[in-house]
Chain A
Amino acid sequence: MLIIFYIASAVAVISTLLVIIQHNLVHALLYLVVSFLAVAMAFYVLGAPFIAALEVIIYAGAIVVLMIFVIMMLNLRQESIAQEKKWLNAQIVIGPVILVLVLAGELIYMVSTEASITLTDQVIGAKAVGMTLYGPYVIGVELSGILLMAGIVGAYHLGRQKKKVTHRFLEKQEE
């Protein structure tokens, strides 16, 4: 069990690292899928099989697919990769990395000073999650529904290309 968790962790960290150093967007997204799958594995090991399934379906499936569609719509060419290379140089990287390492050091220090507790291998299945979700957290479900509705309306409104209103005689020929 522990071994599986280690392997999943290693795969997740390495693939995430690869995501952040890629220049090509599509490659980065592929590594992102790998990272999400590894995290799903970790979920499974931690006794949350329902969440592992959702991670695969929604994160690795829906969200990444959505991003790929958008990247297709953006129609990026080869020069965008070159530009990405130009932007991603050592000078830019060094400052944020130091800052984040300080933050990470503090976080890991805080986590590791707690008294060590080993997790039970009890599996909490979809039924228990569903009972809790529609029991004490039903208001959260309602609010999530409203949020998703707002997300749909917002995405539709923002993503719409406004039609240009010009007189037909004044309309310029697109080259």
Chain B
Amino acid sequence: MNDLLWLIPALPFLGSIILILAGTRLSKKSVPLIGVGSVGVSALITLLIGYDFISSDTPPVIKQVLWNWIDVAGFSPSIALHLDSLSLVFIFVITFIGFLIHVYSSEFMVDDDGYARFFAYLNLFVGSMLILVLADNLLLLYFGWEGVGLCSYLLIGFWYQEEKNGYAARKAFIMTRVGDTAMAIGLFMIFKTFGTLNITDIQLQAPVMWEIGATEGTIIAFLLLGGAVGKSAQLPLQTWLPDAMAGPSPVSALIHAATMVTAGVYLITRMHVVFELAPTAQFVVGVIGSVTLLIAGFSALTQYDLKRVLAYSTISQLGYMFLALGVGAWSAAIFHFMIHAFFKALLFLAAGAVIMALHHEHDMFKMGGLRKKLPVIYWTFLIGAASLAALPLITAGFFSKDQILWLAWAGEKGNVWFFLVALSGAFITAVYTFRMVFLTFFGEEKSHVTHIPGSFINIPLIILAILSTLAGFIELPHSFGHFQLFTNFLNPLLPATTLQSEIESTEWMIQVSAAALSIGGTLLAYYLYVKRPSLHAQFKSAVPQLHNFLLHGWRFDSLYDWVFVKPFVYLAAINKNDFVDWPYNALVNVASFIHRMFAFTQSGILRWYLIGVVLGAILILTLGLML
């Protein structure tokens, strides 16, 4: 069974290749059969392998070497797959949620001209992401890393006929490229230090090579963090994600919420040994996470576009994961990743269904009253939103977020500031989440429903809604059942978080305050947007600058425009005619001069050609006479 591991990434790649080569010739029925089927079979194999994995007593580490990539000067990265509990969680989420999103897309995209193209890209993405998380060495990981970056570009710009989509795609590609460059340099340094890029070897050698806080280790950790920040849309490279909503909704669900953006979380978790040896870098991870979660949360409060709210909330939730990583709560971060993947995919898919039902209306203020018209969407969206807002006890999001809050407070590397930021973030999350729910589904109807979603849209939503609720119960806090299936599952790989010694008893206080804040946020949203809808409009007109500032994501785009783009364009403009170009221009000029000379002889007048013949004959005869 474990020999089938290579099929998991190979099948989506195969599906992608078939769709790219033959996509236009296939019928509308066979395209989803290939596109969905390949991922579906991958998910099935994942379940089988996962069953084997869990039922064995000692969690095995499956390694499968497929072939050697290159072998030069002691550098021989193999194309090898490595399955342990961490990657199992990831491939489960990728294939399973990926499969649900594929099923959803088979109905959502059916009227699009690029139906086959869409599934080809989606399959390619799933394959690349699986390579990323299954990679045995960092080079193969980087291959998958760039592969998902490429697919992100292709899918954001999927509707390339509109110029702004192409702009958003380029922005995402270039912004993540900044981080990727840092990561590439980090990989070079790792290879220089260890002579290998194999992840297991690095994990074994790093504690021997460096003591805690070694300069080299810190630099490498920071460079890897750069890559993670770019991919996971954290400060300061977060501005691409809201614009990435230009892509179709299933893309937003799959790439920009559930899987790709968590690649950064995966990288840091995978390289946790390096980060533990570099406390400064790990602290910075926590700071970035906490600042990002606040900034994105405030921006989400003011958005009009339903999908942009979700985009900012994704950035904010990724901030939570980074915060957890920063305090060394590795398994808590992964747990939150999994739960977040469930409910965020659910929210995006439901939002996509709403937008489709209202004929591509994105503005929440033009929606309303959809509770009766779209009951399935409403209930599933409500469950997802409750999970995002972490309503206590009944939602999975409560358990995962609570774990992060607790460890931010009580973890050895945690402190009160992290905790307070996370706690206020929970309040903001509840407010913007239910603002979204109330604006979309409550109040009077403002737009007409034109399209009722079918079962291929409803069924994935219902499955995801069930998961968003029940998945939380596999990990219960100390004060409440103390049931730690997930942490124990990851435990041999990821060390448990050590707690500060004296504060064991206060966990229930934190839970109560978090629960109170999320309920309070919900009530505040209810008051502002249902009871007294005029209040938020007054607020908007009272401080329009603040409103616009938050609406544009704290104006990071303008800042980068001033700091990077404008000087770069200026430098490029003054360097346009530098001396490096002279030889090339000279070459061009000479070539075109000769071209004009020869073009002149092509006069089309027959007698000139004959004169040429005669001159040639004279030349040859003269040569013959002289020699």
Give the one of A106, A109, A110 with max B CB within 10 A.
A106
* Complex: chain B residue closest to A95, CB-CB: B611
A103 touches B617 (CB 8 A): yes
Cβ–Cβ contact A96 & B617, under 8 A = no
Q: Within B592-619, which residues are at the interface with A (CB < 8 Å)?
A: 611, 614-615, 617-618
* Contact residues of B: prevailing secondary structure: helix
Q: Which residues of chain A come closer than 8 Å to B621, judged between CB atoms?
A: 103, 106-107, 110
A76 adjacent to chain B (CB < 8 Å):
no
Residue-wise, chain A 95-117 has the 8 Å CB interface mask toward B (1 for contact) of: 01001101100110110000000
* CA distance in complex: A96, B614 (Å): 9
Residue of A nearest to B617 (CB): A103
Q: Is the CB of A109 within 8 A of B625?
A: yes
Describe A's contact surface by its main secondary structure.
helix
Q: Give every chain B residue within 8 A of A103 (Cβ-Cβ).
A: 614, 617-618, 621
The residue that A100 contacts in the complex, of B614, B622, B624, B625, with Cβ under 8 A, is: B614
* Distance to closest chain A CB from B607 (angstroms): 8
Smallest distance from the beta carbon of A6 to chain B beta carbons, Å?
Answer: 27
Evaluate contact between B611 and A106: CB separation under 8 angstroms: no
Residues of A within 8 A of B614 (CB): 96, 99-100, 103
A-B contact count (CB 8 A): 21
Q: Count of B residues near A, CB < 8 Å? A: 9
Chain A, residues 72-100, CB within 8 Å of chain B (1/0): the string is 00000000000000000000000010011
Chain B residues, Cβ within 8 Å of A107: 621
How far apart are the CA atoms of A103 and B615 in the complex, in Å? 9
The smallest beta-carbon distance between A50 and chain B, in angstroms, is: 31
A110 touches B611 (CB 8 A): no
Please name the residue on chain A nearest to B622 by beta carbon.
A106
CB of B615 within 8 A of CB of A106, answer no
Q: Residue of B at shortest CB range from A99?
A: B614
Chain B nearest CB, measured from A111 CB (Å): 11
Interface residues of B in 536-559 (CB under 8 A from A): none
Complex partner residue of B611 from A96, A102, A109, CB under 8 angstroms: A96
Contact residues in B for A96 (Cβ distance below 8 Å): 611, 614
Q: Contact at B625–A99, with CB atoms within 8 Å? A: no
Q: Which residues of A contact B617 (CB under 8 A)?
A: 103
Which residues does chain A contribute within 8 Å of B622, judged by CB atoms? 106
List of B residues within 8 angstroms of A102 by Cβ: 618
Q: Which residues of B contact A99 (CB under 8 A)?
A: 611, 614-615, 618
Among A100, A102, A107, chain B packs the most CB atoms within 10 A around the CB of A102
A62–chain B nearest beta-carbon distance, Å: 26
Chain A residue numbers with a CB within 8 Å of B624 are: 110
B125 to chain A, nearest CB (A): 55
Nearest chain-A residue to B610 (Cβ)? A96
Cα–Cα distance between A102 and B614 once the two chains are bound (Å): 10
A96 to B607, CA, bound (A): 10
With CB as the reference atom, state the residue of chain B lying closest to A92: B607
Residues of B within 8 A of A106 (CB): 618, 621-622, 625
State which of B615, B618, B625 has its C-beta within 8 Å of the C-beta of A110.
B625
- Which chain B positions have C-beta within 8 A of A110? 621, 624-625
A96 to B618, CA, bound (A): 12
Give CA–CA (A28, B621) in the complex, Å. 31
Residue interface mask B547-585, A partner, CB < 8 A = 1: 000000000000000000000000000000000000000
Chain A 106-146: CB-based contact to B (< 8 A → 1; otherwise 0): 11011000000000000000000000000000000000000
Q: How far is the CB of A151 from chain B (nearest CB, A)?
A: 21
Chain A residue contacts of B618, Cβ below 8 A? 99, 102-103, 106
Q: How far is the CA of A109 from the CA of B621 in the complex (A)?
A: 11
**Complex Cα spacing A109 to B624, Å:** 12
How many angstroms between the C-alpha atoms of A92 and B242 in the bound complex?
A: 77
A114 to B225, CA, bound (A): 91
Report the minimal beta-carbon distance from A112 to chain B, rounded to whole angstroms: 12
Complex CA gap A106/B615 in Å reads 13
How close is B581's CB to chain A, nearest CB, in angstroms? 45
Which chain A residue lies CB-closest to B624?
A110
- Which residue of A is nearest B614, CB measured? A99
B308-367: which have CB < 8 Å to A? none
Q: A103: nearest residue on chain B (CB-CB)?
A: B618
| Cα A110 to Cα B622 with chains together (Å) | 10
Residues of A within 8 A of B625 (CB): 106, 109-110
Nearest CB of chain A from residue B533's CB, rounded to whole Å: 70
Q: How far is the CA of A102 from the CA of B618 in the complex (A)?
A: 7
Residues of B within 8 A of A109 (CB): 625
Q: How far is the CA of A106 from the CA of B624 in the complex (A)?
A: 10
Closest CB of chain A to B626's CB: distance in Å? 11
Chain A residues within 8 Å of B615, by CB? 99
Chain A residues contacting B611 (CB-CB under 8 Å) are 96, 99
Bound CA span A100–B617, Å: 10
The complex places the Cα of A109 from the Cα of B622 at a distance, in Å, of: 11
**Could you tell me the distance between the alpha carbons of A110 and B621 in the complex, rounded to whole angstroms?**
9
Give the complex CA separation of A107 and B625 in angstroms. 10
Measured CB to CB, the nearest residue on chain B to A102 is B618
Cα distance A106–B619 in the bound complex, in angstroms: 11
Minimum Cβ distance to chain A for residue B477 (Å): 88
Cβ distance B360 to chain A, nearest Cβ, rounded Å: 48
Query: In chain B, what residue has the closest Cβ to A110?
Result: B625
Roughly how many angstroms separate A99 CA and B617 CA in the complex, as a whole number? 10
Docked CA distance A45–B163 (Å):
87
A107 to B621: give the CA distance in the assembly, Å: 8
Shortest Cβ-Cβ A-B pairs, 8 listed = A106-B621, A103-B618, A99-B614, A102-B618, A103-B617, A106-B625, A103-B614, A106-B622
Chain B positions within 8 Å of A, measured between CB atoms, are: 611, 614-615, 617-618, 621-622, 624-625
Instruction: List chain A positions with a Cβ less than 8 A from chain B.
Output: 96, 99-100, 102-103, 106-107, 109-110
Other A-B pairs, 15, CB within 8 Å; known A96-B611, A106-B621: A99-B611, A99-B614, A99-B615, A99-B618, A100-B614, A102-B618, A103-B614, A103-B617, A103-B621, A106-B622, A106-B625, A107-B621, A109-B625, A110-B621, A110-B625
CB<8 Å pairs between A and B, sample of 21:
A96-B611, A96-B614, A99-B611, A99-B614, A99-B615, A99-B618, A100-B614, A102-B618, A103-B614, A103-B617, A103-B618, A103-B621, A106-B618, A106-B621, A106-B622, A106-B625, A107-B621, A109-B625, A110-B621, A110-B624, A110-B625
